[in-house]
Structure 1
């Protein structure tokens, strides 16, 4: 869902603290929690005309961690450096700088690749097989949104623990 409006309002300290505590427990931002509360209220009151819920199955968590992207192009493996900018249990968004050596090739429709990164506060690398879903080329970076198609049990368990 596109978020193109900023809203500011007053509330009691007790209510703000309660919302902040709940947001921490759910490991989401305060604004994300407030949006969910408002969305559910509008849905209950049947006042949602024209409002669409995010299509993603899982909530995203913003991160900034270095990653290696391993591609198999025509039988030849290539390794690229990039960074994971957000994660969910269903997929990842990665950013690959334009100034890296070597050619990075992503088909906007389902290029398979492996991503290797370490979660904040963890020592063991996470290895996930992904499939590109959206590719946006800009001056600074190649941005790839991808869904997970395969992961070893320990990697997915670590990802699940981090995101929950």
Structure 2
């Protein structure tokens, strides 16, 4: 099989209005694709957006994520100064975490390669043990109210990692 060509093993026939057919044919011509290719792209996107198409929504991460809502303390050392902030964990895995932090936070977290590592301290739902993990930011997105940070774990004490592993398994 040639690179970039997907095996198509099913045929679907259906009726559409003349207007829809003309619109799809116009898009196909503009994109220099076949009409069936355009229809497949449209249907694939729709199925993916509705989380109905498993092969298109495979997990890219090494470890599967688990959605949680847990308060977190964020501690960052920057130029000899320690900054503390609060936020919330929105999902977590053995490899990393996604945090939501208020936009007026004191910690400076960015996508910049020189961005400082930071520590997070939290408890997992139904657990009494504090978990301490050192993180490195991987992706930072801002909206009007919050900063959303995707971070990978770069250092963890054994007990914290064991607690996290037990929770996720």
TM-score (norm 2): 0.66
Q: Is the 8 A contact 2:84 2:107 kept in 1?
A: no
Aligned position for 1:57: 62
Q: Structure 2 regions of 5+ residues with no counterpart?
A: 1-44
Q: 2:8 aligned with 1:5, yes or no?
A: no
Aligned length: 121
| Residue number among 102, 105, 108 corresponding to 2:108 in the alignment | 105
Measured on the aligned residues, the alpha-carbon RMSD in Å equals 1.9
Tell me which of 142, 148, 154 is aligned to 2:153.
Answer: 148
Equivalent residue of 2:161, what SS?
helix
Shift of 1:67: 0.4
State the alpha-carbon separation in 1 of the partners of residues 84 and 128 from structure 2.
Answer: 21
The separation in 2 between residues aligned to 1:99 and 1:113, in whole angstroms, is 17
Q: Which runs of 5+ in 1 are unaligned?
A: 8-34, 40-50
Deviation at residue 52 of structure 1 after TM alignment: 7.0
Q: Deviations over 1:74-113 (max 9, x none)?
A: 110111000011000000000012255xx33112145300
Query: Structure 1 length as normaliser, TM-score?
Result: 0.68
Distance 2:65 2:57 in 1: 17
Q: How does 1:37-76 map to 2 (within 5 A)?
A: 38-39=54-55, 51=56, 53-76=58-81
Query: What's the counterpart of residue 144 of structure 2?
Result: 139
Deviation at 1:140, TM superposition (A): 1.4
> How many angstroms does 1:53 deviate by?
3.6
Structure 1 stretches of at least 4 aligned residues deviating more than 4 Å after TM superposition: none
Q: 1: distance between equivalents of 2:104 and 2:110?
A: 19
The CA deviation string for residues 6-41 of structure 1, in whole angstroms up to 9 with x for no partner, is 54xxxxxxxxxxxxxxxxxxxxxxxxxxx7xx54xx
Cα pair 1:109 1:134 within 8 Å, conserved: no
Residue aligned with 1:162, SS: helix
Alpha carbons 1:93, 1:145 under 8 Å: kept: yes
- Looking at structure 2, the residues matched to 88 and 52 of structure 1 have their Cα atoms a distance apart, in angstroms, of 17
Larger radius of gyration: 2
